[in-house]
């Protein structure tokens, strides 16, 4: 069986995943706005040899019937937050190998400035940066805050394609890899290897020179998680690591095949995309203790959070629908993933489900051996390449996982015992060099 890859899902706010568990005595996430918290989490990841720390992000806030419910402030549900790029920059110096993945929106970011930010971080980290590409599919309040019009779901992906073409020109074409000579007796940069870029797309325009030189990876490792048909098309074209929402082995296997098929349709090696499933667990020495621990986690939050939280992700106020309404009858231009995942469940069932784990899948509850068995079985049956561990509380959930489950996975030969390769792309994607594979569309913009 192939070696699996592992990342930790984190969020620079008091809660994440649409739940509010900050009151739990083992949670330290209320200290998310301190550097000590992030250094401790990053060191825990690196000590466990996890491939990357993933910093999620979302603009906007919960909006129910035109108001932000007081429960959001009371429980720290959606605000305040920190900028993930700043958090990532702050922890670079405290780590040496750990990949750092940051979320950036193609709807709300400016491509030219964003490209410089990613290249700067890739330089300073010596090639450990990844970019989670999002089209900002949650919270109409976000576009209101930025003063931009809301864009329909599929058009946002058209916009994202244009964004990607422009940043590829900046990442790959503006400066050649060996443009910098740093020769004090000669020249700093070779002018023949510095190029003007030109882009007049349907959504973005840019003319001039790239603001940063070619970084160790060129283009940061590209992460993506869209599960709609248009999202999968985008991922098959651009993604190098794609997150799947979890679920049954049959469901995951189908998602893996469809995304690999999209890669082939875009002229790419189907195995050049690494598919990672979201994974949560509650682990303890005995099943009974694990079940008790899980119930304590469920009891740590109030049910009122569910309505506000779901509205934040989708724009839908589920309290305004009959509890018997089928989710398949509802529609939103925001996160369609959070409707599609529930199939024909009713509104009432979804509110109960959302209270339990928000956007996370149901956690697996059991002993360390139980959890390891489940992970290996899922990987064998679905052809996924790894897992994005999503903790229920931090840092306790991650500490339990890395100290109790990871050693078993290593003993069974499915988890690496040390870092292999210097850059995130070499370790995670398996490329022979730090830069994009030749069959990736971004490589076509590279100036040779």
Asked if residue 341 belongs to a domain, the reply is no
Rg, C-alpha atoms of the chain: 22
Residue 37's φ and ψ, nearest 5 degrees, are -60, -50
Per-residue model confidence (pLDDT) at position 329: 81
What is the Cα 170 distance to its own chain's centre? 23
CA separation for the pair 210, 73 (Å, rounded): 42
Bridge partners (DSSP) listed for residue 64: 67
Asked if residue 292 belongs to a domain, the reply is no
99-105 and 386-389 as β-strands: parallel, antiparallel, unpaired? Answer: unpaired
The pLDDT of 278-307, averaged and rounded, is 91
Q: Supply the CATH number for residue 367's domain.
A: 3.20.20.30
Cβ-contact 51, 424 below 8 angstroms: yes
Residue 140, token pair as written in the block: 């109409």
Residue 369 in this model has a pLDDT that exceeds 70 = yes
Asked if residue 195 belongs to a domain, the reply is yes
Asked if residue 307 belongs to a domain, the reply is no
CA separation for the pair 140, 138 (Å, rounded): 7
Phi-psi region of 299 (alpha: psi -120 to 50; beta: other; left: phi over 0): alpha
Residue 299 in this model has a pLDDT that exceeds 70 = yes
Q: Among residues 51, 27, 28, 48, which one has the least CA distance to residue 38?
A: 28
Asked if residue 165 belongs to a domain, the reply is yes
Per-residue model confidence (pLDDT) at position 25: 94
* Helix, strand, or coil (residue 277): strand
DSSP 415: B
- The predicted-structure confidence for 25-57, as pLDDT tens digits, reads as follows 999 999 999 999 999 999 999 999 999 999 999
129-134 and 196-200 as β-strands: parallel, antiparallel, unpaired? Answer: unpaired
Q: Is 65 exposed, middle or buried (0-12, 13-18, 19+ CB in 10 A)?
A: exposed
Tell me how many domains the chain contains: 1
Asked if residue 254 belongs to a domain, the reply is yes
The range of the structural domain enclosing residue 379 comes to 5-284+362-445
Asked if residue 335 belongs to a domain, the reply is no
- The predicted-structure confidence for 307-366, as pLDDT tens digits, reads as follows 888 877 777 888 889 888 988 788 776 666 677 777 778 988 888 888 777 877 789 999
Asked if residue 82 belongs to a domain, the reply is yes
Q: Is 264 exposed, middle or buried (0-12, 13-18, 19+ CB in 10 A)?
A: exposed
């Amino acid at each position: 069986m192939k070696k699996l890859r592992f990342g930790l899902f984190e969020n620079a706010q008091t809660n994440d995943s649409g739940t509010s568990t900050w009151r739990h005595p083992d949670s330290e996430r209320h200290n998310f706005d301190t550097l000590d918290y992030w250094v401790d989490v990053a060191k825990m990841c690196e000590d466990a040899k996890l491939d990357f720390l993933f910093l999620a992000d979302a603009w906007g806030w919960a909006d129910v019937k035109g108001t932000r419910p007081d429960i959001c402030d009371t429980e720290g549900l959606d605000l305040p937050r920190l900028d993930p790029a700043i958090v990532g920059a702050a922890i670079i110096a405290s780590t040496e190998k750990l990949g750092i993945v940051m979320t950036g929106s193609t709807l709300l970011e400016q491509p030219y400035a964003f490209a410089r930010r990613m290249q700067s971080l890739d330089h300073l980290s010596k090639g450990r940066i990844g970019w989670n590409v999002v089209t900002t599919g949650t919270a109409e309040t976000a576009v209101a805050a930025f003063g931009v019009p809301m864009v329909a779901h599929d058009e946002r992906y058209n916009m994202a394609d244009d964004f990607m073409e422009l940043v590829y020109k900046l990442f790959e074409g503006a400066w050649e890899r060996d443009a910098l000579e740093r020769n004090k007796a000669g020249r700093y940069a070779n002018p023949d290897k510095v190029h003007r870029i030109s882009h007049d797309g349907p959504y973005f325009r840019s003319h001039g020179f790239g603001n940063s030189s070619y970084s160790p990876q060129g283009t940061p490792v590209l992460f993506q998680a869209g599960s709609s048909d248009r999202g999968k098309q985008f991922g098959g074209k651009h993604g190098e690591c794609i997150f799947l929402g979890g679920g049954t082995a049959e469901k995951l296997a189908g998602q893996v095949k469809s995304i690999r098929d999209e890669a082939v349709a875009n002229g790419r090696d189907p195995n050049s995309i690494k598919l990672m499933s979201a994974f949560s667990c509650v682990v303890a020495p005995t099943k009974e203790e694990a079940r008790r621990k899980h119930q304590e986690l469920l009891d740590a939050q109030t049910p009122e959070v569910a309505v506000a939280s779901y509205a934040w992700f989708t724009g839908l106020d589920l309290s305004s629908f009959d509890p018997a309404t089928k989710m398949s009858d509802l529609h939103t231009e925001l996160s369609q993933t959070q409707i599609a995942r529930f199939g024909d469940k009713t509104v009432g069932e979804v509110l109960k489900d959302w209270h339990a784990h928000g956007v996370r899948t149901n956690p697996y509850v059991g002993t360390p051996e139980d959890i390891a068995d489940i992970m290996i079985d899922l990987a064998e049956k679905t052809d996924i390449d790894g897992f994005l561990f999503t903790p229920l509380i931090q840092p306790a959930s991650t500490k339990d996982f890395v100290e109790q489950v990871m050693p078993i996975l290593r003993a069974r030969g499915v988890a690496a015992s040390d870092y292999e390769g210097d850059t995130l792309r070499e370790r995670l994607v398996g490329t022979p060099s730090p830069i994009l594979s030749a069959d990736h569309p971004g490589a076509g913009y590279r100036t040779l």
